[in-house]
Amino acid sequence: MKITVIGSISTDIIVEASVAPMVGETVRGDKLSFSYGGKGANQAIAVSRLGVETEMIGSVGQDDFGSRLVRNLDENSINTKCIKIVERHSGTAIIQLIKGDNSIIYIPGANEELTIDDIENVRDDLESSSFVIIQNEVNEGVVKRTIDICDELNVPTLYNPAPARQISEKYIDKVSYLTPNETEFKVLFPNQSVEAVLYRYPLKLIVTLGEKGALFYDGAEIKLIAAYKVENVVDTTGAGDCFNGAFAVARMKGLEVEQAIKFANLAASISIQKLGAQAGSPTLNEIKEHIQYEKEWDFE
């Protein structure tokens, strides 16, 4: 059983400060760090740490960053044979971290070089996957072609529409799971209430609400699956990615949607206790040893 992630692979440049600068203002920062990121890579790391065979499809630059980004995935036991190396700078995100909360400027660079043809070329890899995850830090055409091919091949897909971008309903109909946060929801479904749209997509649409948890409709009622409380939040960057990866793993292992959301909430709550989008992403053992691990999940 393998999960394939198609998406961005980036370097995160994290700037920590106690206050955010206003326009035209300069403030002194406290700390500068470089870490591994990119929504796609973060999701792949989340899957792999949970002990599932993982393949990553994406594109990095010929620069030093590119080789480090691929090495990091290799070191996390992720199959990188389909990662393309291009003559462009590798993807980068500038992350401003103020008291644990982040805002991000994303510069796609090489991530933008992944093409529809590249997706056609990995059709066999998609076919041999039990689950495919995709998000929006790659071109729209790549997202659409992935969804179409997986639909043709009957491979379940999780589409995490982050960062926000519109897409026609025909693609939403084809994916197995759609996981916007509140901002992304508003872009996908302008002027529609969360409740009304949840009713249209039972067991498919999961609206993530950060520290409040996640909403979904189980066919009988709308349920809020509360997030786990965390006292010592260090960095929420990548928590959504961890949620998506863990949810896909849990579904693939047979948990019902509600339990899979709970499991993903727990993984995300652990992930925010370390600095960096990937550093805190938990291993299966860490989750199993957690006081809130539910025996009925019975993970191997």
Positions annotated as catalytic residues are: 241
Query: Nearer to ligand RIB by C-beta: 80 or 278?
Result: 278
Could you give the residue ranges of the DSSP H alpha helices within 175-223? 182-188, 194-200
Strands 83-86 and 10-17: unpaired
Residue 7 engages ligand RIB in binding (rule: CB under 6 A):
no
Site for ligand RIB in 34-53 (CB under 6 A): 37-39, 42
Residue 277 engages ligand RIB in binding (rule: CB under 6 A):
yes
Q: According to CB under 6 A, which one of 65, 106, 177, 247 is a site residue for ligand RIB? A: 106
Residue 108 engages ligand RIB in binding (rule: CB under 6 A):
no
Q: Distance between CA 219 and CA 212 in Å, rounded?
A: 22
Query: Nearer to ligand RIB by C-beta: 83 or 149?
Result: 83
Nearest residue to 119 via CA among 91, 151, 147:
147
Contact present, 293 and 266 (Cβ < 8 Å): yes
> CB 106 → ligand RIB: shortest distance, Å?
4
Residue 181 engages ligand RIB in binding (rule: CB under 6 A):
no
Position of minimal CB gap to ligand RIB: 37
**Element housing 3 (H / E):** strand 2-6
Place of tokens 């749209």: 197
Number of residues counted as binding ligand RIB (CB under 6 A)? 15
Q: According to CB under 6 A, which one of 93, 147, 260, 261 is a site residue for ligand RIB? A: 93
Q: Which listed range, 111-119, 143-151, 208-216, 235-243, lies at the site for ligand RIB (CB under 6 A)? A: 235-243
* Residues with Cβ within 8 Å of residue 262, at least 6 apart in sequence: 225, 294
Q: According to CB under 6 A, which one of 66, 238, 245, 282 is a site residue for ligand RIB? A: 238
Residue 184 engages ligand RIB in binding (rule: CB under 6 A):
no
Query: Nearer to ligand RIB by C-beta: 41 or 147?
Result: 41
Nearest residue to 95 via CA among 84, 106, 85:
106
Strands 207-208 and 177-178: unpaired
**Measured in whole angstroms, how far is the alpha carbon of residue 22 from the centre of its chain?**
30
Q: Distance between CA 245 and CA 293 in Å, rounded?
A: 17
Query: Nearer to ligand RIB by C-beta: 35 or 255?
Result: 35
Query: Nearer to ligand RIB by C-beta: 69 or 167?
Result: 69
Strands 31-37 and 10-17: antiparallel
Chain contacts with ligand RIB (rule: CB under 6 A): 10, 12, 37-39, 42, 93, 104, 106, 137, 237-238, 240-241, 277
